[in-house]
Amino acid sequence: MAKAIHSMIRVLDEKRSLDFYERAFGLSVAARFEFDSFTLVYLSNAEADFEIELTINKGRTEPYSLGDGHGHIAFCTDDLDAEHARFTEAGLAPRKVVELDRDGVLLARFFFVADPDGYQIEVLQRHGRYR
């Protein structure tokens, strides 16, 4: 059976992205590989084996087009309100907390935040299927 191990995103500024993911989600560099035209940086934390792979194409100066599809990465937390406050205090500009109900039952509480390259990240309250 297949196991999800990482998701890759292309970023312009490695230092800016490393700072964001460390401050926002406690992710640190698990591995870094230099190549002639690009660098791969894998980020992780003790919460899960899943990693974020940052790809930095050397010499790239223009922002990447993120398209018009709405894809995102999601993290969960024990205290969504505390995380939202922490993000706000850290100047990370989280959007408002939203509650999503289905058939009168809470399905999810979450907010979104954008990383320095504009990728959307969902932060969910641990609840139900979001563990």
What's residue 113's pLDDT?
98
Q: pLDDT tens-digit profile of 90-126?
A: 999 999 999 999 999 999 999 999 999 999 999 999 9
Which range marks the domain in which residue 29 is found?
1-59
CB 121 within 8 A of CB 92: no
Predicted model pTM: 0.91
Same domain, 55 and 83: no
Q: Give the pLDDT of residue 69.
A: 81
pLDDT tens across 21-67, in order?
999 999 999 999 999 999 999 999 999 999 999 999 999 999 999 98
130 in the same domain as 79: yes
**45 plus 79 within the same structural domain:** no
The residue-averaged pLDDT of 69-87 equals: 94
Of the candidates 68, 76, 46, 62, the residue with the CA atom closest to the CA atom of residue 11: 62
Q: Are residues 84 and 30 in the same domain?
A: no
Cβ contact 54:11 at 8 Å: yes
Distance CA 23, CA 62 (A): 25
Q: Are residues 92 and 131 in the same domain?
A: yes
Residue 84 sits in the same domain as residue 110: yes
In a domain, residue 65? The reply is no
Does residue 54 sit in the same domain as residue 84? no
Which amino acid, one-letter code, is at 47? E
Does one domain contain both 42 and 88?
A: no
Domains held by the chain: number: 2
* Separation of CA 5 from chain center: 14
pLDDT band at 71 (very low <50, low <70, confident <90, very high): confident
- Same-domain check for residues 36 and 84: no
Q: Do residue 79 and residue 124 come from a single domain?
A: yes
